[in-house]
Amino acid sequence: MVALALPAGPGLTARSAAGPAREHGVSLDTGLDRTLATAMAAAQAGDAEAYRRLLRACLPVVAGMARAQGVRPDAVDDVVQDVLLTIHRARATYDPGRPFLPWLRAITQRRAIDGMRRAGRRPREVHDPIAYEAEADGGPAPGAGLEARDRVRVLARAVAALPEGQRQAVEHLALGERSLDETAALTGRSKGALKVNLHRALKALRHTLGRDGPEADRAAADGADARERGTHDV
Amino acid sequence: MSERAPLPHDELVEALAGGLRPVRRLPSPALRALIWCAAALGAGFALMPFADLEALHLRMAVPDLRYAALGALLTALTATVAAFQTSVPGRSLRWTLLPLAPAALWVSASGLGCLRTATVPGVAPPEAGGCFAFLIGVSLPLSLALVWMLRRACPLRPNLTAALAGLAAAAAAAVLLVPFHPHDATAADLALHGVAVLLVIGVNGLAGGRLLTRGG
């Protein structure tokens, strides 16, 4: 079994991926290359542990090389896996008398190009200015945070306006995601009563929150709903 | 957007390492090229009893025929080496330039022979057709053997490697044709040779490229 004592780290990946290294990159590259070459020679002989370590050591190196090649961040994982499969298939072609990294770099560059070609063949709308302008932004809309805060505030007021038993049922069962047993133990109410209270609370909330903004606010504030509808605690 | 959801890398590493089998390291590309050339040469020797050696001797006394044969031979050798080199990851792409000079010698010497005999009426169609059939018929098994050997490696540019294999097979077929070629090259003859060679290279580049592209 070959033990890989890799001087790994982010800097190593970047330098290894960038080709001719500067500063200390040369010695790092040489050390890494020798280690990987030894591991690959052992893998050719059937040493699974050395092969496992080799492939794991290749992951950041290949990812760095793919990024340097211009692969988009969301496609790097695909390229890395293509490269791993190619390494597996091509392992008999590696000559341990030669450096390992150029062999790996050739595979990675080719698979990166294949990946970018595949991505380029998929239909995209970026060449159509109108479609580009009309494309919906996947991110949150402006003001989404304020709206979310408003919704939380209205919901909190509506829950607070519920009768005690119903409020407990909502807080523990729905918001707190506790079980019936836990809630029964906490509140001292029977499981059946909790179910009924939750059902009535949800019905009241649906009624309250179904109204438009200010009206819902008012209804939640004065707690009128439960009384209006005659929904009482059990 | 990826076509498939990627496996976590660790799972793939485990799957590959878990199913690892020892592999026999491939011999060097030069050695494998030599093996194929020796096999093609063996086929040539096997055909020798059917050749008109006296006529061959006379034809080889003509410089352009001699240089055309030499060019084809060197093209076959260098294209074979280039095909095997490009089938191994990490080898320089400059290997693909290796057959260019011999191919230029082959084409230009054949063209010179064609100019020399330009005033002679074209060869009879059956003869030219026979050459065409010979070139295609011999190139086919040579190409198949070459692609089969190349498949054991991992060509990263399968179409390029297969096209080089086609050039090697077509040039080798042209060399094997020399002992059986009953006349000088004429325009019609040369055009047919050219078509046959380009056909072999093209078919290899397309079909061989697919054969050399294995899953993964």
Radius of gyration of chain B (CA): 20
User: Among candidates B121, B125, B136, which has minimal Cα distance to B176?
Assistant: B136
Question: What whole-number distance in Å separates Cα of residue A107 and Cα of residue A84?
Answer: 9
Establish if B25 belongs to a structural domain.
no
pLDDT at residue B31, rounded to an integer? 94
Establish if B64 belongs to a structural domain.
yes
Establish if B51 belongs to a structural domain.
yes
Establish if B136 belongs to a structural domain.
yes
Establish if B19 belongs to a structural domain.
no
Total count of domains within chain B = 1
Give yes or no for B6 touching A (CB within 8 A): yes
Q: What is the pLDDT of residues A12-45, one digit of tens each?
A: 343 444 444 444 444 556 788 888 999 999 999 9
Read off the pLDDT band of A142 (50, 70, 90).
confident
A98 and B154 in contact by Cβ < 8 A? no
Give yes or no for A57 touching B (CB within 8 A): no
Give yes or no for B187 touching A (CB within 8 A): no
Question: What whole-number distance in Å separates Cα of residue B159 and Cα of residue A192?
Answer: 73
Cite the DSSP H helix spans in B7-157: 9-18, 29-47, 53-60, 63-86, 100-116, 125-151
A149: tokens are 């805060």
Question: What whole-number distance in Å separates Cα of residue B17 and Cα of residue A1?
Answer: 13
Domains, chain A? 10-121 (1.10.1740.10), 144-228 (1.10.10)
Q: What is the pLDDT of residues B78-133, one digit of tens each?
A: 999 999 999 999 899 899 999 999 999 988 887 776 666 554 555 444 455 677 77
Q: Three-class SS string for A167-217?
A: HHHHHHHHHCCCCHHHHHHHHCCCHHHHHHHHHHHHHHHHHHHCCCHHHHH
Q: Which of B24, B25, B90 sits opposite A102 (nearest CB)?
A: B90
Establish if B154 belongs to a structural domain.
yes
Would you list the DSSP string of B74-102? HHHHHHHHHHHHHTSTT--GGGGGTTHHH
Radius of gyration of chain A (CA): 31
Which residue's entry shows tokens 């009953």?
Answer: B182
Instruction: Determine the structural domain holding residue B59 and report its residue range.
Output: 39-117+125-212
pLDDT at residue B63, rounded to an integer? 79
Cα B19 to chain center, whole Å? 36
Q: What is the pLDDT of residues B47-60, one digit of tens each?
A: 888 877 777 787 78
Compute how many other C-beta atoms are within 10 angstroms of the C-beta atom of residue B14: 15
Residue B44 has pLDDT above 60, yes or no: yes
Q: For residue B18, list chain A residues with Cβ-Cβ distance below 8 A.
A: 48
Q: Which residues contact A208 (CB under 8 A, 6 or more apart)?
A: A158, A161, A216, A219, A220, A225
Q: Is the ipTM of this complex over 0.90?
A: no
pLDDT higher for B55 or A91? Answer: A91
Establish if B139 belongs to a structural domain.
yes
Establish if B78 belongs to a structural domain.
yes
CA dihedral for A77, A82, A88, A93, sign (positive or negative): negative
Average pLDDT, integer, range A72-84: 90
Q: For residue A110, list chain B residues with Cβ-Cβ distance below 8 A.
A: 89, 156-157
Give yes or no for A45 touching B (CB within 8 A): yes
